[in-house]
Amino acid sequence: MRVTLRNIHKSFGPVEVVKGLDLEVEDGEFLVLLGASGSGKTTALRMVAGLESVTSGRVLIGDRDVTEMLPKYRDVAMVFQSYALYPHMTVFANIAYPLTVRKRPRAEIEAAVKDVAKQVQLEALLDRYPRQLSGGQRQRVALARAMIRRPAAFLMDEPLSNLDAKLRGYMRAELKHMQHELGITTIYVTHDQIEAMTLAHRVALLEKGVLQQLDTPANIYNAPANLFVAGFIGSPPMNFLDGALTGGTFSCAAGTFGTGSRASSAAAVAGVRPEDCRVTEAGAGKIVGDIYTTELMGDHTLVTCRVGGATVTVKADKTFSRPDGEAVGVDFAETAVHLFDKACGDRIGTPVR
């Protein structure tokens, strides 16, 4: 079902932690709420669940205004950052709980628990109690409990954060598959940009309680709306150069180059992603500098260059080998340049692509 947040504000005492959040999550959509620690993600999700009241604004699930409704009537299944399992119940009983309280027949419950326990690899642990499980296993019980029925929406708060890297990768794929299969609207909170990029139909990026951009992972990556988004998404992060933009020509201490735009701004920032940059011979390339350091990462090499008071990271081939201190150029395509207004941080125009 569609989930709508209309101009949601939330304050704890004098501190406003969610500031005018507008979101429309389509029926069946997987929306990821992404942001750094303290940006207001959990608070926003808890307001959808009804575990936190709104200071102002409306929450709708489908066409129902649920703003004043108790959590149990909202028909959402939440997976918490802390797993919130019932300690006195076995894994089986924990997973079965949403069906038990609905008084479903025993045979149906057993079949459903078996089915979902298999999906999250818990079949062998159904007789245990939560205290006898590892953190990752507890988290999977919490996931299974949410998955066992078909709520109007899944609300998930960092559900994979306690898993080791390998299991997280596996569960990420399982979760994505399951969500596509069930087609249940999902709002998923994480601070991990990889999770956001891989899971989401659309990503909502929050910073200090303010929505910065709401778009597909590809659009967020390829056309970040402002400097914050540009710097947040991508690893290693986008390179930024301060300079002036005159009729689309950008000049900074390291060089002057065309940008495919026609805009002007006395204080602009040009951004280029490391994978869009190439180290060239000195004198060639759009900007000049020297090699500061190189780091072999296995399948590629990160080359950090000093360019006119700034540094630029280049993602180079794994065979890249040049001595530190060597004078080089750095080249990139005009279409790879992202332009921002330095004062307000907003993206300038849309480069020709």
Ligand X SMILES: Nc1ncnc2c1ncn2[C@@H]1O[C@H](COP(=O)(O)OP(=O)(O)OP(=O)(O)O)[C@@H](O)[C@H]1O
186 binds, among Mg ion, ligand X, none (CB under 5 to 8 A by kind): none
The answer to whether residue 37 forms part of the interface with ligand X (CB under 6 A) is yes
Q: Does 42 bind Mg ion (CB under 5 A)?
A: yes
| Contact between 14 and ligand X per CB under 6 A | no
Q: Which is nearer to Mg ion, 42 or 185 (CB)?
A: 42
Token duo for residue 151 = 């709520």
Q: State the nearest-atom distance from the C-beta of 45 to Mg ion, in Å.
A: 8
| Nearer to Mg ion among residue 35 and residue 329 (C-beta) | 35
User: Which residue bears the tokens 């735009």?
Assistant: 261
Closest to ligand X by CB, 17 vs 182, is 17
Q: Does 255 bind ligand X (CB under 6 A)?
A: no
CB of 310 to ligand X, least distance (A): 30
Q: Is 239 in the site for ligand X (CB under 6 A)?
A: no
Dist CA 216 CA 123 (whole Å): 36
- CA geometry: angle at 70 spanning 129 and 20, to 5°? 110
Contacting residue, 29, 30, 40, 340, with ligand X by CB under 6 A:
40
Q: Is the peptide bond before 236 cis (omega within 30 degrees of 0)?
A: yes
For the chain, give the longest Cα–Cα distance.
Answer: 77
Sign of the dihedral defined by the CA atoms of residues 102, 103, 108, 113, in that order: positive
Q: Which one of Mg ion, ligand X, none interacts with residue 349, CB within 5 to 8 A by kind?
A: none
Strand partners, 242: 269
**Residue 193 in the binding site for ligand X (CB under 6 A):** no
Q: Closest distance between Mg ion and the C-beta of residue 81, in Å?
A: 6
Residue 159 binds to ligand X (criterion: CB under 6 A): no
DSSP 8-state class, residue 170? H
42 part of the interface to ligand X, by CB under 6 A: yes
Q: Is position 211 an interface residue for ligand X (rule: CB under 6 A)?
A: no
When CB distances are held under 5 to 8 angstroms depending on the partner's kind, the choice from Mg ion, ligand X, none that residue 191 binds is: ligand X
The answer for residues whose C-beta is within 8 angstroms of residue 283's C-beta and 6 or more apart is 329
By CB under 6 A, tell whether 9 contacts ligand X: no
Query: CB-based contacts of 299: which residues, under 8 Å, 6+ apart?
Result: 318
Residue 103 CB contacts under 8 Å (≥ 6 apart), including other chains: none
CA distance 215 to 42: 20
Rule CB under 6 A: is residue 94 a binding residue for ligand X?
Answer: no
Strand partners, 11: 16
To the nearest whole angstrom, how small is the minimum distance from the Cβ of residue 160 to Mg ion? 13
Within the chain, residue ranges assigned H as helices are 41-49, 91-100, 106-119, 135-147, 165-182, 193-199, 217-222, 227-232
Which residue from 9, 191, 201, 300 is in contact with ligand X, where contact means CB under 6 A?
191
The site for Mg ion, by CB under 5 A, has a size of 1
Q: Which stretch binds Mg ion (CB under 5 A): 12-20, 34-42, 93-101, 173-181?
A: 34-42
Residue 38 in the binding site for ligand X (CB under 6 A): yes
With H, G, I as helix, E, B as strand and everything else as coil, classify residue 264.
Answer: coil
DSSP letters, 138-172, are HHHHHHHHHHTS--SEEEEESTTTTS-HHHHHHHH
Site for ligand X contains 39 (CB under 6 A): yes
List 12, 134, 317, 349, residue binding ligand X (CB under 6 A): 12
Amino acid at 103: K
The identity of residue 167, as a single letter, is L
Three-point CA angle 189, 190, 196, nearest 5°: 100
For residue 284, the minimal CB distance to ligand X (Å) is 44
- Residues in contact with ligand X by CB under 6 A are 12, 17, 35, 37-43, 191
- Residues in contact with Mg ion by CB under 5 A are 42
